[in-house]
Amino acid sequence: MGEQVFDVVFIGGGPAGYQGAIRAAQLGMKVAVVESRELGGVCLNRGCIPTKAIRASVEVLSRARRAKAYGIEIETARPDIKAIIARKNKVVGLLRGGISQLFRSRSIEHLEGTGTLLSPREVEVETANGIIRLKAGKIVIATGSRPSIPSPFTGLTGENKGVLTTDDILEVSRVPASLLIVGAGAVGVEMASIMAELGSSVTLLEMKDRILPGEDLEMASYMTRMLKRQKVKVLTGLSVNEAAVGDKVTVMLSNGQKWEGDAVLMAAGRVPNVESIGLRAVGLAENGRPLAVNEHMETGISGIFAAGDVVGGWLLAHVAFAEGITAAENAAGLTSRMDYRVVPRCVFAFPEYAAVGLSEEEAKEQFPATAFSFPFKSLGMAQALGEWEGMVKLVVHEKNGQILGGHVIGPHAADLVAEIALAMRHQIPAKGIVDTIHTHPTLSEAVLETAQAACGQAIHMLPGEHTNK
Protein backbone atom coordinates (compact mmCIF):
# COMPACT_ATOMS: atom_id res chain seq x y z
CA MET A 1 0.00 0.00 0.00
CA GLY A 2 1.47 3.34 -1.10
CA GLU A 3 0.82 6.67 0.59
CA GLN A 4 0.84 10.13 -0.95
CA VAL A 5 0.27 13.57 0.55
CA PHE A 6 -1.75 16.38 -1.08
CA ASP A 7 -3.15 19.74 -0.06
CA VAL A 8 -6.54 18.80 -1.49
CA VAL A 9 -8.07 15.64 -2.93
CA PHE A 10 -11.10 15.72 -5.21
CA ILE A 11 -13.17 12.54 -5.28
CA GLY A 12 -14.69 12.76 -8.74
CA GLY A 13 -13.39 14.28 -11.97
CA GLY A 14 -16.62 15.61 -13.46
CA PRO A 15 -17.50 19.29 -13.94
CA ALA A 16 -17.19 20.22 -10.26
CA GLY A 17 -14.13 18.06 -9.68
CA TYR A 18 -11.99 18.93 -12.67
CA GLN A 19 -12.68 22.66 -12.65
CA GLY A 20 -12.24 22.80 -8.90
CA ALA A 21 -8.95 20.93 -9.21
CA ILE A 22 -7.62 23.36 -11.81
CA ARG A 23 -8.64 26.33 -9.66
CA ALA A 24 -6.97 24.79 -6.60
CA ALA A 25 -3.77 24.27 -8.59
CA GLN A 26 -3.91 27.90 -9.75
CA LEU A 27 -3.97 28.87 -6.08
CA GLY A 28 -0.76 26.92 -5.43
CA MET A 29 -2.20 23.76 -3.93
CA LYS A 30 -0.88 20.26 -4.54
CA VAL A 31 -3.91 18.53 -6.04
CA ALA A 32 -5.10 14.97 -6.70
CA VAL A 33 -8.25 13.92 -8.53
CA VAL A 34 -9.66 10.43 -8.02
CA GLU A 35 -11.98 9.29 -10.81
CA SER A 36 -13.36 5.78 -11.31
CA ARG A 37 -14.50 6.41 -14.88
CA GLU A 38 -13.59 9.02 -17.50
CA LEU A 39 -12.48 12.56 -16.73
CA GLY A 40 -15.23 15.04 -17.46
CA GLY A 41 -17.96 13.06 -15.75
CA VAL A 42 -21.50 12.72 -17.05
CA CYS A 43 -21.52 16.12 -18.75
CA LEU A 44 -18.60 15.43 -21.07
CA ASN A 45 -19.03 11.69 -21.57
CA ARG A 46 -22.74 10.88 -21.18
CA GLY A 47 -24.62 14.18 -21.09
CA CYS A 48 -24.19 17.76 -22.26
CA ILE A 49 -21.43 17.41 -24.84
CA PRO A 50 -22.36 14.12 -26.54
CA THR A 51 -25.98 15.21 -26.74
CA LYS A 52 -24.99 18.48 -28.39
CA ALA A 53 -22.70 16.64 -30.82
CA ILE A 54 -25.60 14.42 -31.85
CA ARG A 55 -27.89 17.45 -32.03
CA ALA A 56 -25.41 19.18 -34.34
CA SER A 57 -25.62 16.24 -36.75
CA VAL A 58 -29.41 16.30 -36.55
CA GLU A 59 -29.44 20.05 -37.22
CA VAL A 60 -27.44 19.50 -40.41
CA LEU A 61 -29.95 16.81 -41.38
CA SER A 62 -32.85 19.17 -40.73
CA ARG A 63 -31.26 21.95 -42.76
CA ALA A 64 -30.52 19.56 -45.62
CA ARG A 65 -34.18 18.55 -45.70
CA ARG A 66 -35.10 22.24 -45.94
CA ALA A 67 -32.38 23.04 -48.46
CA LYS A 68 -34.83 23.84 -51.25
CA ALA A 69 -36.14 26.78 -49.23
CA TYR A 70 -32.60 28.21 -49.38
CA GLY A 71 -32.26 27.66 -53.12
CA ILE A 72 -30.20 24.48 -52.77
CA GLU A 73 -31.09 21.19 -54.48
CA ILE A 74 -30.25 18.02 -52.52
CA GLU A 75 -31.52 14.65 -53.71
CA THR A 76 -31.60 12.76 -50.41
CA ALA A 77 -30.77 13.48 -46.78
CA ARG A 78 -30.92 10.60 -44.34
CA PRO A 79 -29.20 9.88 -41.03
CA ASP A 80 -26.52 7.26 -40.45
CA ILE A 81 -26.82 6.71 -36.70
CA LYS A 82 -23.57 4.75 -36.45
CA ALA A 83 -21.66 7.58 -38.14
CA ILE A 84 -23.42 10.13 -35.92
CA ILE A 85 -22.39 8.21 -32.80
CA ALA A 86 -18.83 7.85 -34.12
CA ARG A 87 -18.58 11.60 -34.63
CA LYS A 88 -19.95 12.16 -31.13
CA ASN A 89 -17.32 9.83 -29.69
CA LYS A 90 -14.57 11.69 -31.54
CA VAL A 91 -15.70 15.02 -30.09
CA VAL A 92 -15.89 13.58 -26.58
CA GLY A 93 -12.47 11.96 -26.86
CA LEU A 94 -10.89 15.19 -28.04
CA LEU A 95 -12.30 17.19 -25.14
CA ARG A 96 -11.47 14.50 -22.58
CA GLY A 97 -7.88 14.56 -23.79
CA GLY A 98 -7.94 18.32 -23.31
CA ILE A 99 -8.73 17.92 -19.61
CA SER A 100 -5.84 15.48 -19.21
CA GLN A 101 -3.54 18.00 -20.86
CA LEU A 102 -4.76 20.75 -18.52
CA PHE A 103 -4.08 18.48 -15.54
CA ARG A 104 -0.54 17.75 -16.70
CA SER A 105 0.14 21.45 -17.28
CA ARG A 106 -0.86 22.15 -13.64
CA SER A 107 0.86 19.05 -12.16
CA ILE A 108 -2.50 17.70 -10.99
CA GLU A 109 -2.31 14.01 -10.10
CA HIS A 110 -5.04 11.98 -11.79
CA LEU A 111 -5.66 8.65 -10.05
CA GLU A 112 -7.85 6.17 -11.92
CA GLY A 113 -9.76 4.28 -9.28
CA THR A 114 -12.51 4.35 -6.67
CA GLY A 115 -12.07 6.76 -3.78
CA THR A 116 -13.34 6.04 -0.26
CA LEU A 117 -13.15 8.34 2.75
CA LEU A 118 -11.23 6.84 5.67
CA SER A 119 -11.14 9.94 7.86
CA PRO A 120 -11.58 13.70 7.42
CA ARG A 121 -8.00 13.80 6.14
CA GLU A 122 -7.56 10.42 4.41
CA VAL A 123 -8.82 8.86 1.19
CA GLU A 124 -8.26 5.29 0.07
CA VAL A 125 -8.07 4.68 -3.67
CA GLU A 126 -8.66 1.25 -5.15
CA THR A 127 -6.85 1.10 -8.48
CA ALA A 128 -6.19 -1.67 -10.98
CA ASN A 129 -2.69 -1.93 -9.51
CA GLY A 130 -3.62 -1.99 -5.85
CA ILE A 131 -4.58 0.27 -2.98
CA ILE A 132 -3.20 3.78 -2.55
CA ARG A 133 -3.75 5.89 0.55
CA LEU A 134 -3.90 9.66 0.20
CA LYS A 135 -3.44 12.15 3.01
CA ALA A 136 -5.14 15.46 2.34
CA GLY A 137 -5.37 18.81 4.06
CA LYS A 138 -8.81 19.22 2.50
CA ILE A 139 -11.20 16.92 0.62
CA VAL A 140 -13.83 17.81 -1.99
CA ILE A 141 -16.56 15.24 -2.71
CA ALA A 142 -17.69 15.60 -6.33
CA THR A 143 -19.07 12.15 -7.11
CA GLY A 144 -21.95 13.36 -9.28
CA SER A 145 -25.23 11.58 -9.93
CA ARG A 146 -26.83 8.85 -12.01
CA PRO A 147 -30.19 8.42 -13.77
CA SER A 148 -33.16 7.70 -11.55
CA ILE A 149 -35.03 4.50 -12.42
CA PRO A 150 -38.62 4.49 -11.05
CA SER A 151 -39.89 1.20 -9.63
CA PRO A 152 -41.95 0.03 -12.65
CA PHE A 153 -38.71 -0.03 -14.68
CA THR A 154 -36.31 -1.53 -12.11
CA GLY A 155 -34.23 -4.28 -13.71
CA LEU A 156 -35.43 -3.47 -17.22
CA THR A 157 -32.77 -0.97 -18.32
CA GLY A 158 -30.22 -1.50 -21.09
CA GLU A 159 -30.39 -1.24 -24.89
CA ASN A 160 -31.03 -4.98 -25.24
CA LYS A 161 -33.85 -4.82 -22.68
CA GLY A 162 -35.69 -1.93 -24.29
CA VAL A 163 -35.65 0.53 -21.39
CA LEU A 164 -32.91 3.11 -21.89
CA THR A 165 -31.27 5.56 -19.54
CA THR A 166 -29.89 8.85 -20.78
CA ASP A 167 -26.50 7.08 -20.83
CA ASP A 168 -27.82 4.33 -23.11
CA ILE A 169 -29.56 6.55 -25.66
CA LEU A 170 -26.23 8.13 -26.61
CA GLU A 171 -24.79 4.77 -27.66
CA VAL A 172 -27.66 3.23 -29.64
CA SER A 173 -26.82 1.35 -32.82
CA ARG A 174 -30.24 2.08 -34.34
CA VAL A 175 -32.95 4.68 -33.96
CA PRO A 176 -36.00 3.18 -32.19
CA ALA A 177 -38.99 3.19 -34.53
CA SER A 178 -41.19 4.13 -31.57
CA LEU A 179 -40.00 5.70 -28.32
CA LEU A 180 -41.73 6.62 -25.06
CA ILE A 181 -39.88 9.26 -23.04
CA VAL A 182 -40.77 9.35 -19.34
CA GLY A 183 -40.28 12.86 -17.99
CA ALA A 184 -40.76 16.15 -19.85
CA GLY A 185 -38.20 18.30 -18.12
CA ALA A 186 -35.23 19.73 -19.98
CA VAL A 187 -33.69 16.35 -20.84
CA GLY A 188 -36.95 14.73 -21.89
CA VAL A 189 -37.98 17.61 -24.14
CA GLU A 190 -34.52 17.82 -25.67
CA MET A 191 -34.35 14.12 -26.47
CA ALA A 192 -37.94 14.06 -27.76
CA SER A 193 -37.09 16.78 -30.26
CA ILE A 194 -33.80 15.19 -31.35
CA MET A 195 -35.18 11.66 -31.71
CA ALA A 196 -38.20 12.91 -33.64
CA GLU A 197 -35.87 14.60 -36.13
CA LEU A 198 -34.04 11.28 -36.49
CA GLY A 199 -37.29 9.61 -37.51
CA SER A 200 -38.51 8.03 -34.28
CA SER A 201 -42.21 8.14 -33.45
CA VAL A 202 -41.98 9.82 -30.04
CA THR A 203 -44.44 9.95 -27.16
CA LEU A 204 -43.47 12.33 -24.35
CA LEU A 205 -44.99 11.56 -20.94
CA GLU A 206 -45.12 13.96 -17.99
CA MET A 207 -46.85 13.36 -14.65
CA LYS A 208 -47.44 17.09 -14.08
CA ASP A 209 -49.97 19.14 -16.00
CA ARG A 210 -47.53 20.45 -18.63
CA ILE A 211 -44.07 19.99 -20.06
CA LEU A 212 -41.15 21.95 -18.61
CA PRO A 213 -42.77 22.23 -15.17
CA GLY A 214 -41.64 25.33 -13.33
CA GLU A 215 -40.70 27.22 -16.48
CA ASP A 216 -42.59 30.16 -17.95
CA LEU A 217 -46.08 29.02 -18.98
CA GLU A 218 -46.09 30.88 -22.31
CA MET A 219 -42.72 29.40 -23.24
CA ALA A 220 -43.75 25.87 -22.23
CA SER A 221 -46.89 26.21 -24.34
CA TYR A 222 -44.84 27.42 -27.30
CA MET A 223 -42.46 24.47 -26.94
CA THR A 224 -45.42 22.10 -26.80
CA ARG A 225 -46.60 23.45 -30.15
CA MET A 226 -43.13 23.03 -31.63
CA LEU A 227 -42.95 19.41 -30.44
CA LYS A 228 -46.36 18.64 -31.90
CA ARG A 229 -45.18 20.15 -35.18
CA GLN A 230 -42.41 17.51 -35.06
CA LYS A 231 -45.19 14.93 -34.60
CA VAL A 232 -44.25 14.28 -30.97
CA LYS A 233 -47.27 13.04 -29.00
CA VAL A 234 -47.37 14.92 -25.68
CA LEU A 235 -49.17 13.30 -22.72
CA THR A 236 -49.39 15.24 -19.45
CA GLY A 237 -50.94 14.53 -16.06
CA LEU A 238 -50.11 10.82 -16.40
CA SER A 239 -47.66 8.39 -14.83
CA VAL A 240 -46.57 4.79 -15.37
CA ASN A 241 -48.24 2.02 -13.36
CA GLU A 242 -46.66 -1.05 -14.94
CA ALA A 243 -43.97 -1.94 -17.45
CA ALA A 244 -42.93 -5.18 -19.14
CA VAL A 245 -40.37 -6.11 -21.78
CA GLY A 246 -40.89 -8.76 -24.44
CA ASP A 247 -40.61 -8.43 -28.19
CA LYS A 248 -41.85 -4.91 -27.51
CA VAL A 249 -41.89 -2.72 -24.42
CA THR A 250 -45.37 -2.49 -22.92
CA VAL A 251 -46.32 0.29 -20.50
CA MET A 252 -49.60 0.74 -18.65
CA LEU A 253 -50.38 4.37 -17.86
CA SER A 254 -52.28 5.71 -14.86
CA ASN A 255 -55.39 6.38 -16.97
CA GLY A 256 -55.54 2.75 -18.12
CA GLN A 257 -54.08 3.51 -21.54
CA LYS A 258 -51.50 1.05 -22.90
CA TRP A 259 -48.41 2.12 -24.81
CA GLU A 260 -46.41 -0.43 -26.77
CA GLY A 261 -43.26 0.27 -28.75
CA ASP A 262 -39.58 -0.35 -29.37
CA ALA A 263 -38.02 1.50 -26.43
CA VAL A 264 -38.60 3.64 -23.36
CA LEU A 265 -36.21 6.42 -22.36
CA MET A 266 -36.01 7.35 -18.69
CA ALA A 267 -35.69 11.11 -18.22
CA ALA A 268 -37.29 11.31 -14.79
CA GLY A 269 -34.49 12.87 -12.76
CA ARG A 270 -31.23 11.80 -11.17
CA VAL A 271 -30.00 10.54 -7.80
CA PRO A 272 -26.73 11.52 -6.08
CA ASN A 273 -23.78 9.11 -5.93
CA VAL A 274 -23.36 8.97 -2.16
CA GLU A 275 -23.17 5.23 -1.56
CA SER A 276 -19.93 3.40 -0.73
CA ILE A 277 -17.76 6.50 -0.48
CA GLY A 278 -17.19 6.31 3.29
CA LEU A 279 -19.49 9.06 4.50
CA ARG A 280 -20.04 7.42 7.88
CA ALA A 281 -16.31 7.16 8.46
CA VAL A 282 -16.07 10.94 8.55
CA GLY A 283 -19.32 11.60 10.40
CA LEU A 284 -21.59 12.43 7.47
CA ALA A 285 -25.06 10.91 7.12
CA GLU A 286 -25.36 8.10 4.57
CA ASN A 287 -29.06 8.24 3.71
CA GLY A 288 -29.08 8.36 -0.07
CA ARG A 289 -29.84 12.07 -0.09
CA PRO A 290 -27.73 14.92 -1.50
CA LEU A 291 -24.98 16.16 0.79
CA ALA A 292 -25.81 19.28 2.79
CA VAL A 293 -23.34 22.15 2.41
CA ASN A 294 -23.16 25.81 3.41
CA GLU A 295 -22.62 28.77 1.09
CA HIS A 296 -18.89 27.97 1.06
CA MET A 297 -19.67 24.44 -0.21
CA GLU A 298 -18.39 22.97 3.06
CA THR A 299 -20.18 20.06 4.71
CA GLY A 300 -20.81 19.78 8.43
CA ILE A 301 -17.32 18.31 8.80
CA SER A 302 -14.58 20.94 8.78
CA GLY A 303 -12.28 20.62 5.78
CA ILE A 304 -14.62 18.39 3.78
CA PHE A 305 -16.38 20.14 0.92
CA ALA A 306 -18.86 18.89 -1.68
CA ALA A 307 -19.88 20.24 -5.07
CA GLY A 308 -21.87 19.36 -8.18
CA ASP A 309 -24.81 16.99 -8.49
CA VAL A 310 -23.91 15.25 -5.23
CA VAL A 311 -25.25 18.30 -3.34
CA GLY A 312 -28.51 18.34 -5.30
CA GLY A 313 -30.12 21.60 -6.36
CA TRP A 314 -29.90 22.64 -10.00
CA LEU A 315 -28.14 19.55 -11.40
CA LEU A 316 -26.55 21.66 -14.13
CA ALA A 317 -22.94 21.39 -15.28
CA HIS A 318 -22.38 25.14 -15.25
CA VAL A 319 -23.62 25.32 -11.67
CA ALA A 320 -21.27 22.44 -10.81
CA PHE A 321 -18.40 24.41 -12.38
CA ALA A 322 -19.12 27.34 -10.07
CA GLU A 323 -19.58 25.11 -7.02
CA GLY A 324 -16.32 23.27 -7.66
CA ILE A 325 -14.41 26.53 -8.02
CA THR A 326 -16.05 27.92 -4.87
CA ALA A 327 -15.10 24.78 -2.93
CA ALA A 328 -11.51 24.98 -4.22
CA GLU A 329 -11.13 28.63 -3.25
CA ASN A 330 -12.40 27.98 0.27
CA ALA A 331 -10.20 24.91 0.58
CA ALA A 332 -7.26 27.18 -0.30
CA GLY A 333 -8.16 29.59 2.49
CA LEU A 334 -10.08 32.22 0.54
CA THR A 335 -13.62 33.30 1.43
CA SER A 336 -15.88 32.53 -1.52
CA ARG A 337 -19.64 32.13 -1.54
CA MET A 338 -22.01 30.47 -3.98
CA ASP A 339 -24.66 32.78 -5.38
CA TYR A 340 -27.63 31.00 -6.96
CA ARG A 341 -29.71 34.11 -7.59
CA VAL A 342 -28.92 34.24 -11.32
CA VAL A 343 -28.66 30.80 -12.93
CA PRO A 344 -29.36 30.42 -16.66
CA ARG A 345 -30.79 27.12 -17.88
CA CYS A 346 -31.42 25.83 -21.36
CA VAL A 347 -33.12 23.14 -23.43
CA PHE A 348 -31.42 22.25 -26.70
CA ALA A 349 -34.56 21.21 -28.56
CA PHE A 350 -35.67 22.44 -31.99
CA PRO A 351 -35.98 25.35 -31.34
CA GLU A 352 -33.77 26.02 -28.32
CA TYR A 353 -35.22 27.39 -25.10
CA ALA A 354 -33.25 29.25 -22.44
CA ALA A 355 -34.23 31.17 -19.34
CA VAL A 356 -32.81 32.99 -16.35
CA GLY A 357 -34.54 34.33 -13.27
CA LEU A 358 -38.27 34.27 -12.65
CA SER A 359 -41.06 33.18 -14.95
CA GLU A 360 -43.71 35.76 -15.78
CA GLU A 361 -46.08 34.04 -13.34
CA GLU A 362 -43.53 33.99 -10.49
CA ALA A 363 -42.51 37.60 -11.04
CA LYS A 364 -46.08 38.90 -11.00
CA GLU A 365 -46.78 37.04 -7.76
CA GLN A 366 -43.86 38.76 -6.02
CA PHE A 367 -43.43 42.17 -7.67
CA PRO A 368 -45.22 44.81 -9.72
CA ALA A 369 -43.98 43.45 -13.04
CA THR A 370 -44.71 43.62 -16.75
CA ALA A 371 -43.60 41.20 -19.46
CA PHE A 372 -42.39 42.43 -22.84
CA SER A 373 -41.66 40.21 -25.83
CA PHE A 374 -40.22 40.49 -29.32
CA PRO A 375 -40.74 37.86 -32.04
CA PHE A 376 -37.81 36.58 -34.07
CA LYS A 377 -39.95 36.85 -37.20
CA SER A 378 -39.54 40.64 -36.96
CA LEU A 379 -35.73 40.40 -36.85
CA GLY A 380 -33.69 40.80 -40.02
CA MET A 381 -31.01 38.25 -39.12
CA ALA A 382 -33.57 35.61 -38.18
CA GLN A 383 -35.30 36.03 -41.54
CA ALA A 384 -31.95 35.89 -43.36
CA LEU A 385 -31.11 32.64 -41.57
CA GLY A 386 -34.56 31.20 -42.19
CA GLU A 387 -34.91 30.64 -38.42
CA TRP A 388 -37.68 32.94 -37.32
CA GLU A 389 -39.64 30.79 -34.87
CA GLY A 390 -39.80 32.00 -31.29
CA MET A 391 -39.35 35.14 -29.24
CA VAL A 392 -37.45 36.91 -26.49
CA LYS A 393 -39.33 37.84 -23.32
CA LEU A 394 -38.15 40.12 -20.52
CA VAL A 395 -40.07 40.39 -17.26
CA VAL A 396 -39.30 43.82 -15.84
CA HIS A 397 -39.95 45.49 -12.48
CA GLU A 398 -42.39 48.33 -13.15
CA LYS A 399 -40.77 50.76 -10.70
CA ASN A 400 -37.03 50.43 -11.28
CA GLY A 401 -36.68 48.71 -14.65
CA GLN A 402 -34.70 45.81 -13.20
CA ILE A 403 -34.96 42.57 -15.16
CA LEU A 404 -36.63 39.89 -13.02
CA GLY A 405 -36.58 37.16 -15.65
CA GLY A 406 -35.49 36.52 -19.20
CA HIS A 407 -36.79 33.86 -21.58
CA VAL A 408 -35.71 33.04 -25.11
CA ILE A 409 -37.18 30.43 -27.42
CA GLY A 410 -35.69 30.33 -30.87
CA PRO A 411 -32.34 30.21 -32.69
CA HIS A 412 -29.27 30.17 -30.41
CA ALA A 413 -31.39 30.86 -27.34
CA ALA A 414 -28.78 29.33 -25.03
CA ASP A 415 -26.21 31.87 -26.22
CA LEU A 416 -28.55 34.86 -26.20
CA VAL A 417 -29.64 34.36 -22.59
CA ALA A 418 -26.10 35.11 -21.38
CA GLU A 419 -26.55 38.85 -21.99
CA ILE A 420 -29.70 38.84 -19.90
CA ALA A 421 -27.98 36.87 -17.13
CA LEU A 422 -25.09 39.34 -17.09
CA ALA A 423 -27.49 42.27 -16.79
CA MET A 424 -29.36 40.60 -13.95
CA ARG A 425 -26.20 39.58 -12.08
CA HIS A 426 -24.91 43.15 -12.09
CA GLN A 427 -28.35 44.76 -11.63
CA ILE A 428 -28.25 46.49 -15.00
CA PRO A 429 -31.80 47.58 -15.84
CA ALA A 430 -33.40 47.15 -19.25
CA LYS A 431 -32.28 50.71 -20.10
CA GLY A 432 -28.66 49.53 -19.78
CA ILE A 433 -29.22 47.04 -22.60
CA VAL A 434 -30.92 49.74 -24.68
CA ASP A 435 -27.93 52.05 -24.19
CA THR A 436 -25.52 49.36 -25.40
CA ILE A 437 -24.96 49.36 -29.16
CA HIS A 438 -25.59 45.87 -30.57
CA THR A 439 -24.02 44.57 -33.75
CA HIS A 440 -26.28 44.51 -36.81
CA PRO A 441 -27.45 42.20 -38.22
CA THR A 442 -27.34 39.69 -35.37
CA LEU A 443 -29.74 37.58 -33.34
CA SER A 444 -28.66 39.51 -30.24
CA GLU A 445 -30.74 42.41 -31.52
CA ALA A 446 -33.81 40.48 -30.39
CA VAL A 447 -32.69 41.06 -26.79
CA LEU A 448 -32.10 44.74 -27.59
CA GLU A 449 -35.52 45.10 -29.23
CA THR A 450 -37.22 43.52 -26.21
CA ALA A 451 -35.39 45.87 -23.84
CA GLN A 452 -36.39 48.79 -26.06
CA ALA A 453 -40.02 47.68 -25.75
CA ALA A 454 -39.65 47.59 -21.97
CA CYS A 455 -38.41 51.19 -22.06
CA GLY A 456 -41.17 52.41 -24.36
CA GLN A 457 -38.79 52.65 -27.30
CA ALA A 458 -39.93 49.71 -29.48
CA ILE A 459 -38.63 50.13 -33.03
CA HIS A 460 -39.68 47.12 -35.11
CA MET A 461 -43.07 46.50 -33.51
CA LEU A 462 -46.45 48.12 -33.74
CA PRO A 463 -47.62 50.08 -30.67
CA GLY A 464 -49.02 47.75 -28.02
CA GLU A 465 -47.74 44.63 -29.78
CA HIS A 466 -45.04 43.93 -27.21
CA THR A 467 -46.75 43.99 -23.79
CA ASN A 468 -48.05 40.89 -21.98
CA LYS A 469 -49.39 42.79 -18.94
Classify 4-147+271-332 by CATH class.
alpha beta
262 labeled binding residue: no
> Among all residues, which ones are annotated catalytic?
440
The predicted structure's pLDDT at residue 228: 98
14 labeled binding residue: no
3-class SS at 356? strand
In the chain, CATH 3.30.390.30 sits at 351-455
432 labeled binding residue: no
159 labeled binding residue: no
Q: What is the DSSP string of 142-160?
A: ---EEE---GGGTT-BBTT
Superfamily of domain 159-268: FAD/NAD(P)-binding domain (3.50.50.60)
The predicted structure's pLDDT at residue 161: 77
Assigned CATH topology for domain 351-455:
Enolase-like; domain 1 (3.30.390)
CA angle, corner 317, sides to 219 and 119, nearest 5?
Answer: 140
Q: What is the pTM of this model?
A: 0.94
In the chain, CATH 3.50.50.60 sits at 4-147+271-332, 159-268
Q: Distances from the Cα of 408 to the Cαs of 84, 224, 351, 352, 458, in angstroms?
A: 28, 15, 10, 8, 18
187 labeled binding residue: yes
The predicted structure's pLDDT at residue 467: 66
* pLDDT by 10-residue block (mean), the chain, 469 residues: 88 98 99 97 96 98 95 93 97 98 98 97 95 97 96 82 91 95 98 98 98 98 98 98 93 96 95 96 94 98 98 98 99 98 98 98 98 97 97 98 99 99 99 98 98 95 71
Instruction: Tell me the Ramachandran region of residue 452: left when phi exceeds 0, alpha when psi lies from -120 to 50, beta otherwise.
Output: alpha
The predicted structure's pLDDT at residue 463: 77
93 labeled binding residue: no
The predicted structure's pLDDT at residue 1: 55
d(CA 67, CA 61): 10
